[in-house]
């Protein structure tokens, strides 16, 4: 591992000011530390944001659930308030990786990293989330811009993620048996006026399946999407699953999610 400067800023402003093109924020370190150790990334400055109090915690109101950026997956999974307001979100967090990952990994790190197989981005898209940063509020559909790419600018920090409480929701994941990342993950959320079906693991970036969403918006039942064919032309194909297989799983898991709602 190459050497780097290690910083422990006292607040968000100081953390943001320390950022450069050769720095990384350290939340749980679940991506950053292995990347450094394996030589996949090198940074001049590591900016540890774990002890900035403002970035951690969960707030639930009637209409929204707001989760601070450094809140760990295990905390979201165990939160009685999240379990009550959006049980699908607590379930998603409780099925990320293994116990070690859930006790270190954070929601801010997950969405900022935007791994194409990560679970939280699909919840953000389906639950009309708004990403609060230190300088603006970004709707989820504008936040996730490509593979490992987001709308975040240099020095911009995610402070919290605000999820809209749906009428019903469920998340179904076909996990990679080794890492538990999603080979396919489908998050279905039924809101008052629309249904969103967000898919992760299938393409280079999380997306809303417009056809499934439209069908379910007019009739929220698994029979409405029974046997619906999903286009596989832009889907990932690798040693774990072909694009055809992934497309079939999207349709199947959307149906499973509706049935579990």
Name the site residues for ligand FAD (rule: CB under 6 A). 24-32, 69, 73, 96-97, 101, 104-106, 108-110, 112-113, 118-120, 152, 157-158, 179-181
Residue nearest to ligand FAD (CB): 109
Q: Shortest distance, CB of residue 217 to ligand FAD, whole angstroms? A: 26
Q: H or E segment at 132?
A: strand 130-133
DSSP letter for each residue of 30-64: TTHHHHHHTTS---SEEEE-TT-GGG--EEE-SSE
Is the separation of the CB atoms in 50 and 27 below 8 Å?
yes
State both tokens at 185. Answer: 């993950």
Q: How far is the CB of 178 from ligand FAD (least distance, A)?
A: 8
Residue closer to ligand FAD (CB basis): 127 or 225 = 127
Task: Give the separation between CA 7 and CA 163, rounded to whole angstroms.
Answer: 31
CB of 68 vs ligand FAD, minimal distance in Å: 9
Report, in Å, the least distance between residue 57 CB and ligand FAD.
Answer: 13
Cβ distance to ligand FAD smaller for residue 169 or 216: 169
In the bound state with ligand FAD, the residue whose beta carbon lies nearer, of 200 and 251, is: 200
Q: CA-CA distances (angstroms) from residue 126 to 88, 169, 172, 198? A: 11, 9, 13, 5
Q: What is the closest distance, in whole angstroms, from the C-beta atom of residue 25 to ligand FAD in the complex?
A: 4
CA dihedral 47, 48, 54, 60 (to 10 degrees): 110
Of 41 and 224, nearer to ligand FAD (C-beta) is 41
Structure tokens at 8: 């422990």
| Nearer to ligand FAD (CB atom), residue 32 or residue 196 | 32
Q: Minimum Å distance from CB 77 to ligand FAD?
A: 12
Q: Which CB sits closer to ligand FAD, 132 or 215?
A: 132
Contact status, residue 191 vs residue 216, Cβ threshold 8 Å:
no
């Amino acid at each position: 591992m190459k050497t780097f400067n290690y910083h422990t800023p006292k607040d968000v402003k100081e953390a943001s000011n320390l950022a450069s093109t050769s720095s990384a924020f350290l939340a749980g370190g679940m991506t950053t530390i292995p990347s450094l150790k394996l030589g996949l990334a090198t940074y001049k400055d590591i900016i540890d944001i774990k002890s900035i109090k403002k970035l951690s915690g969960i707030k639930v109101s009637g209409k929204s659930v707001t989760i601070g950026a450094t809140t760990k997956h295990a905390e979201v999974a165990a939160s009685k308030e999240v379990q009550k307001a959006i049980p699908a979100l607590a379930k998603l967090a409780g099925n990320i990786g293994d116990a070690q990952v859930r006790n270190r990994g954070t929601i801010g790190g997950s969405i900022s990293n935007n791994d194409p197989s990560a679970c939280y981005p699909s919840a953000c898209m389906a639950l009309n989330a708004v990403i609060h940063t230190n300088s603006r509020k970004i709707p989820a559909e504008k936040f996730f811009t490509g593979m490992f790419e987001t709308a975040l600018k240099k020095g911009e920090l995610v402070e919290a993620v605000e999820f809209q409480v749906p009428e019903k929701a469920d998340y179904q994941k076909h996990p990679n048996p080794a890492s538990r990342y999603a080979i396919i993950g489908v998050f279905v959320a039924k809101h008052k006026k629309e249904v969103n079906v967000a898919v992760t693991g299938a393409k280079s970036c999380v997306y809303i399946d417009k056809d499934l969403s439209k069908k379910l918006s007019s009739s929220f039942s698994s029979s409405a999407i029974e046997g619906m064919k999903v286009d596989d032309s832009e889907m990932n194909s690798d040693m774990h699953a072909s694009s055809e297989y992934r497309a079939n799983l999207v349709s199947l898991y959307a149906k499973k999610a509706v049935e579990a709602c």
